Amino acid sequence: MAADVASVLRSLAFTLFQLVVTPLYAIAVVGSFWLPPAQRFALCANWCRTVLWGARAICGIRHEVTGLENLPATPHVVLSKHSSTWETLFLTQLGKPMAYVAKKELLAIPFFGWAFRFASPITIDRKAGRDAMAQIVEQGRERFADGFWIVIYPEGTRIPAGQRAKYKTGGTRLAVALGTPVIPVAHNAGWLWPKGVLGKQPGTVTLSIGAPIPAAGRAPVELMQEVENWIEGEVERLGNPLRRRGPDARAEAAA
């Protein structure tokens, strides 16, 4: 019970922290409309860094990364596990300008959405049906030309930790169309930072970056199956960080 109360208090304090810092950064980002895309993204990445710092200081959420040597110098398509908000923030810290594929409705969210518009996302209208893929490819070519990497969550939405959903082929179809390899990313952040305001737990998120998977000339379905197998296998290997800590460590963190 004490651990639950501590989690609620940490989560609420962190939410308050976000409500304070987000409008300030949003105003700065919107005011930077005249800067080149990469510099506007850098401002957004600074907001992500600040929020991650708050998550560590307030909620005790730390991280470790393996596979950094697998990141090439040139832009690639990143296909990542999506079980938390944490990975969306952290991927901006890898030293690459990232263009996220997202639904256009996010742009209407006060402050966050207004700033996100200037971070060079690839926004799609889900009502467009088959035309949505054409939107992604067209905008993807533009982002590549500006030196951006492209981040896609093949599950389509956040999936609770410990669960699976069928991967959609939009990311591999884009990679095949652009002729660029795919970088698979796995992590276990959903256990520590689940969807919603509450539920955050102290612990260490492990993020694993896989080796580039060639996409040119491949069938998108076959390629996505390879990506899904690697990500889900790696997620299973990483496991639940709460279990790794043990009951004594959990009690100490909640104190």
Would you say domain 2-254 falls under CATH 3.30.70? no
Q: What is the pLDDT of residues 179-213, one digit of tens each?
A: 999 999 999 999 999 998 999 999 999 999 999 99
Extents of the domains making up the chain: 2-254
The contacts of residue 34 (CB under 8 Å, 6+ apart) are none
Edge-to-edge order in the sheet of strand 122-124: 61-66, 203-209, 182-187, 77-80, 149-152, 98-103, 122-124
Task: Please tell me the predicted confidence (pLDDT) of residue 141.
Answer: 92
Please say if the pLDDT value at position 136 is more than 80: yes
Q: What is the pLDDT of residues 38-83, one digit of tens each?
A: 999 999 999 999 999 999 999 999 999 999 999 999 999 999 999 9
Residue 2 pLDDT level (bands cut at 50, 70, 90): low
Q: What is the pLDDT of residues 12-48, one digit of tens each?
A: 999 999 999 999 999 999 998 889 999 999 999 999 9
Mean pLDDT over 158-174 rounds to 94
CA 120 to the chain's CA centroid: 15
Average pLDDT score over the chain: 90
Q: Which of 80, 233, 76 is nearest to 156 (CA)?
A: 80
Residues 133, 134, 137, 139, Cα dihedral to 10°? -110
